Amino acid sequence: MSFRVRKPTWIGLGCLLAVVAAPLADTERADLPAVVAKVNGQEIDRDQFWSLYQSYQRANPDGLGQPGKAQELEQAILERLIDATLLLQEAKRAGIEVEAEEVDAKLEALRATFPNPASFEKAVASGAYDEARLRADLGKDLAIAQLVERRIDQTIGASEDELLDWYDANRSRLIAPEEVRVNQILIQAPPDAELPTKQRARAEIEECQQLVAASGHFAEVARRRSQDPVSAPAGGDLGWFTRGGSDGGRALPEELESAAFALAAGEVSPILTSSQGYHLLYVAERRPQRTYAFEDIRGQIRGSLLEQKRQQRLAELIQSLRAQARIEIYLR
């Protein structure tokens, strides 16, 4: 399926991006004015702009090499900051207040994305942040999110007719890929194992092959003999796979994929070798390439339509705020 529903993201003040940005030398943009813009008299300062610029640069290290790209990025970042400031001002006019507990929860969620407290503190410091500023910017972003929730999310919907119309118009690209559900028996033999170890492993997988052929019960042999600690208790069931992990599916290792997709449902592969050792694969089920049924993706279609409407309404809100705002730009 060639469409994806993204989780809504709100235009914020860049604090989350800036946290993970590695610092760049101040001399690289020594010409930046102390204040890059004013929005209804409210300043957007150099540090705020430069932190966000750094984070984009780090996320896209090869994206600024072409002529004019750096200037385009500067303009895009400035526009993002102006839009976010306008939304924050509107949130304040609407009486939206963010509780300290909400900021605490957001901060803890951010901490949880790091492997340990030290790595979080290092990331904050490397972005030229301190926790007080981080908390302030998190509060601003939460206020904007609440404004969007109140002004937009609570006023939009998608009717059943709209969902069906979208499905009919996009049916040709709503294609589910070919899939196989695979069970395996694994006998481990690392590539650097000694020859006697590999020989014993080979003999064991051959014995498993004979047991499967004699009994016809692949899952039972997998439970008793497979050395994959995850799948063995489930009879070797690995779940569903698509070719190369297409369309967001899971991919088998290259050494196993061709063999798995060559099998019919109910067939067992010959002995296969990978970096893990020796394998027998059993294809329990197959799903051919097909068009998704409407009911199977109804929720995704609804999410996609709501996100389209959300973005359109957000753009309209920002345009309205800009039309009434006094915006002064000092970045050249």
- In a structure prediction context, what are the per-residue pLDDT tens digits for the chain, which is 332 residues long? 544 444 344 445 444 434 443 344 444 566 789 999 999 999 999 888 887 887 777 666 665 556 667 788 888 899 999 999 999 999 999 999 999 999 999 999 988 988 888 888 877 776 556 778 888 889 999 999 999 999 999 999 999 999 999 999 999 889 999 999 999 999 999 989 999 999 999 999 999 999 999 999 999 999 999 999 999 999 999 999 999 998 888 999 999 999 999 999 999 999 999 999 999 999 999 999 999 999 999 999 999 999 999 999 999 999 999 999 999 999 87
Residue 200 has phi, psi (to 5 degrees) of -65, -40
DSSP string, 37-55: EEETTEEEEHHHHHHHHHH
- Distance of CA 277 to CAs 56, 191, 258, 270, Å? 42, 8, 17, 14
CATH of the domain spanning 15-159+299-329: 1.10.4030.10
CATH of the domain spanning 176-290: 3.10.50.40
State the Cα torsion 128-132-137-138 to the nearest 10°.
120
Q: What is the pLDDT of residue 120?
A: 84
**Residue 100 corresponds to which amino acid?**
A
Tokens 């984070």 -> residue: 55
Is the distance from CB of 144 to CB of 88 less than 8 angstroms? yes
**From-to residues of CATH 1.10.4030.10 in the chain:** 15-159+299-329
328: left (phi over 0), alpha (psi -120 to 50) or beta: beta
Q: What is the pLDDT of residue 47?
A: 84
State the Cα torsion 238-239-240-241 to the nearest 10°.
-20
Find the angle CA(156)-CA(157)-CA(160) to the nearest 5 degrees.
160
Those residues whose C-beta lies under 8 Å from the C-beta of residue 200, and which sit 6 or more positions away, are none
Residue 19 tokens, joined: 């946290």
Q: What is the pLDDT of residue 27?
A: 41
**From-to residues of CATH 3.10.50.40 in the chain:** 176-290
Q: What is the pLDDT of residue 270?
A: 97
Q: What is the pLDDT of residue 127?
A: 58
